[in-house]
Amino acid sequence: MFRTQIKASIIKESQERSPEFVLWQAVIAQAITDAKYNGLRKPYLECKRLAIAWFSSYSKDFKEVCQYADIDPDYNEWKKNNDR
């Protein structure tokens, strides 16, 4: 597939998604970004700690956000247990 065709398919897919779906995917993406932070700035370290705790908690809130973002919350649990 040519680049222009790939871009067109990505644009089409994003246009078919609801704003709410895009929002919940952005929530997950931000949590991943926060959890992967490697710097030393205290405010960002606190965000990192909270993001890791949220992913690790497997709470009702976490499962609901995953559901809204069409992401399998069980994958996170499986990955955590098999990533050794």
One DSSP character per residue, 1-65 reads --HHHHHHHHHHHHHHS-HHHHHHHHHHHHHHHHHT--S--HHHHHHHHHHHHHHHH--HHHHHH
Confidence of residue 80 (pLDDT cuts 50, 70, 90): low
Tokens standing for residue 11: 């644009």
Confidence of residue 52 (pLDDT cuts 50, 70, 90): very high
**Residue type present at position 71:** I
Domain regions of the chain by residue span: 18-82
Tens of pLDDT, residues 16-43: 788 999 999 999 999 999 999 999 999 9
pLDDT at res. 16: 73
Q: Region 66-82: what's the mean pLDDT? A: 78
**Residue type present at position 53:** A
